[in-house]
């Protein structure tokens, strides 16, 4: 894996829907992500917004399988190789911005002729439900020992003529590795939905 830092100009940063599309410019030879299941290897990249202020460029942390290359409209600041080697029983600090959701029956599906599924995702609102969601996502790879949950204001975006909203939170805490390979898969593939909006990048570090 490659860990990089990049910067997006405010003209792009002001619309969260544009972040992912602009960052693809760093990977001109990579096919667009076509994963259908969580366990499939990720072809593209994960990212998180590290610093975004009105009127200022957005600082982005980017994790990819391929090394990014300089591209117009994106400032590539630095890149380095990343090869995490977790071990059973190891305790790690973690950081994750995510979009905790649950699936419910879509009672308005008949009004959406292009929709293929009869379910829709709704955000989990309470801290207890958000923490339980993360425990389920980590299950098998790691045990969560401690966590704090930082809620964020809703993220509004436009996709063509349609408007959307995401509810995101940042989890920060401690975990114990139970299965190194499964944890590596989570690190590579990300956690939860809304990855095109900067969610899902799981960062870990060894404790001193």
Please write the tens of the pLDDT for every residue from 31-84: 766 655 555 555 689 999 998 888 999 999 999 999 999 999 999 999 999 999
Q: Are 154 and 117 in contact, with CB atoms under 8 Å apart?
A: no
Output the pLDDT for position 107. Answer: 62
d(CA 6, CA 13): 12
d(CA 38, CA 19): 22
**106 pLDDT above the threshold of 90:** no
The alpha carbon of 21 is separated from its chain's Cα centroid by a whole number of angstroms, namely 15
Output the pLDDT for position 30. Answer: 78
Residue holding tokens 């020992």?
145
Output the pLDDT for position 189. Answer: 93
d(CA 201, CA 208): 22
**7 pLDDT above the threshold of 60:** yes
Between the two ends of the chain, the Cα-to-Cα distance in Å is 23
d(CA 7, CA 28): 17
Report pLDDT digits (tens) over 159-189. 666 677 889 999 999 999 999 999 999 999 9
Which one is predicted more confidently, 17 or 71?
Answer: 71
Query: Across 43-47, 83-87, 152-156, which has the greatest mean pLDDT?
Result: 83-87
């Amino acid at each position: 894996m490659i860990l990089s830092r990049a910067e997006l100009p405010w003209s792009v940063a002001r619309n969260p829907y544009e972040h992912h599309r602009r960052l693809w410019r760093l990977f001109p030879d990579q096919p667009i992500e076509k994963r259908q299941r969580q366990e499939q290897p990720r072809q593209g990249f994960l990212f998180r917004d590290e610093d975004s202020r009105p009127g200022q460029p957005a600082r982005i942390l980017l994790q990819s399988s391929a090394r990014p290359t300089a591209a117009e409209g994106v400032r590539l600041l630095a890149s380095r190789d990343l090869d995490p080697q977790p071990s059973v029983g190891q305790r790690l600090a973690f950081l994750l911005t995510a979009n905790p959701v649950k699936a419910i029956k879509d009672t308005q599906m008949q009004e959406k002729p292009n929709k293929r599924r009869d379910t829709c995702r709704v955000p989990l609102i309470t801290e207890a439900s958000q923490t339980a969601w993360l425990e389920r996502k980590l299950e098998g790879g790691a045990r969560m020992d401690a966590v704090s949950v930082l809620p964020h204001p809703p993220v509004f975006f436009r996709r063509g003529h349609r408007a959307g909203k995401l509810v995101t939170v940042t989890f920060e805490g401690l975990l114990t590795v139970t299965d190194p390979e499964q944890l590596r898969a989570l690190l590579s593939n990300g956690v939860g939905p809304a990855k095109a909006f900067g969610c899902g990048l799981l960062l870990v570090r060894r404790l001193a």
